[in-house]
Amino acid sequence: MRAGEAITAGEAVRRVLILENPALRGQSSITQSLYAGLQLILPGEVAPSHRHVQSALRFIVEGSGAYTAVGGERATMQPGDFIITPSWTLHDHGNESGGPVVWLDGLDIPLVRFLDAGFAENDTRPSQAVTRTEGTSLARYGHNMAPVRGDAPFGATSPIFSYPYERSREALHKLERDAPADAWDGVKLRYINPLTGGSPMPTMATFLQRLPAGFDGKPWRQTDGAVFSVVEGHGEVLIERDAQSQRFEYGPRDHFVIPSWHTARLNSSAGCVLFSFSDRPVQQALGIHREERL
């Protein structure tokens, strides 16, 4: 909020508080391959339209009523919604509500930088023209059905660019009631590209999980370092490597990272919901992904 007083969205292009890993100083990275930041947009502001090679995700942390526009369609933001801006698609953000809105940005910037394949381009307009009714992409692809004709509009990225939290949360709670919880993850689901069954973006996988009340998870580790955003509830994470351990308590709107090949345990006495993302699709494509459930 102090940044919002100091600089406008127009001056900053995107007003973002970068979450920089202290072990990777000066690289604007949260893991070796991923970027994360918290973006603020105030009432009446527009983050101008542009596009870039990097794939981006938005996970809404606080506030409601702002929007993201992609491919001529707007998606109104609500807390817990997962929204995609696919690679090389024009996108802009605006806030026509009466309060501030904050979301988590997740991008594959370090990975694209390593490959030396980054390009960006500003639009000639601050906001793109709306050409499709909100919810059109969800109607076409979000009900286990797809158009008879027509290719994927965003290539390897999901044709659904907005995954509402209301629907995702309902699925988690139904599974919590009706199915046994996993001893390591609780109730954990992955977001998918409905055309392929794979990850929504070619470089990033996204997950939503519910830890039931009284959950005391078993330890696990994996080669894809994961960034977590706490949606609801409170809990604790224990992270260990090489006989060193750190324990963090977390609550709503907190963010934490479980680095590559660090042993982690999650627990929650009252229950909680966690969103997370990682570079798992890249590692799986290269055949180097590894996971151990201890």
Walking along the chain (294 residues) 10 residues at a time, the average pLDDT comes out as 89 91 94 97 94 97 97 96 96 96 98 96 93 95 90 92 97 96 98 96 98 98 98 98 95 97 98 98 98 97
**Residue 243 and residue 280 in one domain:** yes
Per-residue pLDDT at 170: 97
Per-residue pLDDT at 171: 97
Per-residue pLDDT at 184: 98
- Identify the residue whose tokens are 């080669």: 223
**Residue 21 and residue 144 in one domain:** yes
* Number of domains composing the chain: 2
Domain end marker among 142, 162, 182? 162
Domain end marker among 133, 162, 191? 162
**Residue 172 and residue 77 in one domain:** no
Instruction: Note every long-range contact of 230-233, with CB atoms under 8 Å and residues 24 or more positions apart, other chains counting.
Output: 230/254, 230/255, 230/256, 230/272, 230/273, 230/274, 231/79, 231/80, 231/165, 231/272, 231/273, 231/274, 231/275, 232/80, 232/272, 232/273, 233/268, 233/270, 233/271, 233/272, 233/273
**Residue 172 and residue 153 in one domain:** no
**CATH number for 62:** 2.60.120.10
Cα–Cα distances (Å) from 272 to 106, 142, 187, 219, in that order, read 21, 26, 11, 18
**Residue 114 and residue 253 in one domain:** no
Instruction: Report the chain's C-alpha Rg in angstroms.
Output: 19
**Residue 282 and residue 146 in one domain:** no
What is the DSSP code string of 188-201?
EEE---TTTSS-SS
Per-residue pLDDT at 223: 98
Per-residue pLDDT at 188: 98
- Identify the residue whose tokens are 């639009």: 123
**Residue 152 and residue 9 in one domain:** yes
**Residue 118 and residue 170 in one domain:** no
**Residue 272 and residue 203 in one domain:** yes
**Residue 269 and residue 142 in one domain:** no
- Going by C-alpha positions, the residue among 219, 186, 184, 188 that lies closest to residue 205 is 188
What distance lies between CA 288 and its chain's CA centroid?
Answer: 23
Instruction: Note every long-range contact of 12-20, with CB atoms under 8 Å and residues 24 or more positions apart, other chains counting.
Output: 13/47, 13/48, 13/50, 14/39, 14/47, 14/105, 15/39, 15/40, 15/41, 15/47, 16/40, 16/105, 19/255
Contact partners, residue 110, CB within 8 Å, separation at least 6: 27, 28, 29, 31, 32, 33, 34, 35
Domain end marker among 136, 162, 188? 162
Contact partners, residue 135, CB within 8 Å, separation at least 6: none
Residue numbers of the domain that contains 236:
164-293
Per-residue pLDDT at 9: 82
**Residue 146 and residue 185 in one domain:** no
**Residue 149 and residue 172 in one domain:** no
Per-residue pLDDT at 10: 77
